[in-house]
Amino acid sequence: MNSIDDILSKIETLEKELAAELEKKEREFLYTIREKRVRFSEQAKQQHRKLAATWADYAQEYGLSRMLTIPVIYFALLPAVFLDAVVSGYQCICFPVYGIPKVRRGQYIIMDHHQLRYLNLIEKLGCAYCSYFNGLIGYVREIAARTEQYWCPIRHARPVKAPHSRYRHFFAYGDAEGYRTGLAEVRKRFDDAREQDQE
């Protein structure tokens, strides 16, 4: 294993450690997750209600100039929904043909902030927007990563700021022989993605 593969493996290990730490937070903040639904203890619910901001408090805290930017932010929702539809359709049609496992949308777009009673309605709408948008970007990125692994699994010459999940399977930049002799094998190397999708 070369040093790039080693570093990418360490990143994967750290992501698993992060997931374990997030599970610890469930206990700390008195909630459990059952059937994909968050359930808070009665004690936590009472505390959340006490900390909820009123609409007037919220408007005063953020001010008129910030409130006027909200339509600009929400305008980006139109192309996002279109992107979601196009990319979802693309993977439904093309991935079975290529033998690529489909990306499970629900693992990326997680809408659960509406259950937090310390958020007012405007905050919940904002959280829903951010959850959708950021989840969508992750979902699209994973579809693009799996597509790239199939069609062009070659690393870049320069360092990538945040390599995607499939990057470790790619050939080194300039490895012409490896690319030509190993491309067919790399195009099938999705066992780890299938396992991850089952979690």
pLDDT at 41: 65
pLDDT tens sequence across 89-140: 999 999 999 999 999 999 999 998 887 877 888 888 889 999 999 999 999 9
Write the CA distances from 93 to 96, 97, 109, 121, 161, integer angstroms. 7, 7, 21, 38, 31
pLDDT of residue 58: 62
Give the span between the Cα atoms of 96 and 6, in whole angstroms. 31
CA 130 to chain centre: 11
Say what percent of the chain tops pLDDT 90: 50
- Reply yes or no on whether the pLDDT at 46 is more than 70: no
The pTM of the full predicted model, rounded to 2 decimals, is 0.76
The domain spans of the chain are 1-40, 52-198
Amino acid 11: pLDDT:
80
CA distances to 121, 122, 167, 168 from 126, rounded to whole Å, are 9, 6, 32, 35
pLDDT of residue 174 exceeding 90, the answer is yes
Q: Is the dihedral of CA 86, 88, 92, 96 positive or negative?
A: positive
Here the tokens at position 68 are 């006027």
- Has residue 165 got a pLDDT over 70? yes
